[in-house]
């Protein structure tokens, strides 16, 4: 069965898409730790990011690098944090989270962002990509 992220990539489940190329996809995390929290995903369905080949992993990071610059350009923040967790969704992904302090990366705390604001943020990041 396809993962939820494969279904998002296929357009079967809606998302706030910010960027795409032939092998990668980026969209806003639906339950963001901070406004602008973005997920970067390989289209190839694989659970553990470190089971990607070294080249696939490098290509994913290259795409994430471009997305991170778009996030930084769209969301005022000191840094864009990058994290890999992968305990919830068995489809490799990188979290990109705009932060001003270490405390801003706490996966136990979620930001409340309206659907309207999510769409605005999505458009702003997409425009910077």
Other CB atoms within 10 A of residue 75 CB: 20
Q: How many residues bind ligand AMP (CB under 6 A)?
A: 12
Indicate whether 86 belongs to the interface with ligand AMP (CB under 6 A).
yes
Radius of gyration (C-alpha) of the chain in whole angstroms: 14
Q: Which two tokens stand for residue 120?
A: 């605005």
Is 29 a binder of ligand AMP (CB under 6 A)? yes
Q: Is 119 in the site for ligand AMP (CB under 6 A)?
A: no
How many Cβ atoms are within 10 Å of 69's Cβ, its own excluded? 13
93 part of the active site = yes
Positions annotated as catalytic residues are 93
Q: Which residues bind ligand AMP (CB under 6 A)?
A: 4, 13, 15, 29-31, 39, 85-89
């Amino acid at each position: 069965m396809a993962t939820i992220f494969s279904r998002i990539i296929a357009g079967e489940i809606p998302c706030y898409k910010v960027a795409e190329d032939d092998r990668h996809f980026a969209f806003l995390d639906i339950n963001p730790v901070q406004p602008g929290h973005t997920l970067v995903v390989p289209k190839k369905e694989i659970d553990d990011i470190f089971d990607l080949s070294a080249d696939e992993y490098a290509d994913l990071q290259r795409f994430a690098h471009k997305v991170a610059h778009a996030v930084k350009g769209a969301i005022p923040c000191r840094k864009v944090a990058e994290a890999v967790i992968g305990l919830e969704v068995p489809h490799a992904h990188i979290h990109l989270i705009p932060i001003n302090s270490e405390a801003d990366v706490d996966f136990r705390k979620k930001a409340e962002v309206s659907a309207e604001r999510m769409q605005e943020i999505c458009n702003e990041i997409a425009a910077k990509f």
